[in-house]
Structure 1
């Protein structure tokens, strides 16, 4: 039965894991975003107290 011959399937396994562990992370890490996020200025919030009676 040819499907039980591990020779071609083992090399496919090795090449696929090589791609998952070495090649793909390098390409993902090298990805550059079009717009870098900017630091927004944080203004203090104006909070008005609510002085209505609760009853």
Structure 2
């Protein structure tokens, strides 16, 4: 069965993953995030119990 022959596609997959891991990924990781985390303390939401009409 030709689907089980890894000869033509294994090399292509390995080269593409090496290209991504060694060249593209470090370039992407150097970008500054658009929304950096803030140093503000998290606010606790005030919750009020819901009054159900049938109780």
Q: Under a length normalisation based on structure 1, what TM-score does the superposition of the two structures give?
A: 0.41
Q: State which structure, 1 or 2, has the greater radius of gyration over its C-alpha atoms.
A: 1
TM-score normalized by the length of structure 2: 0.41
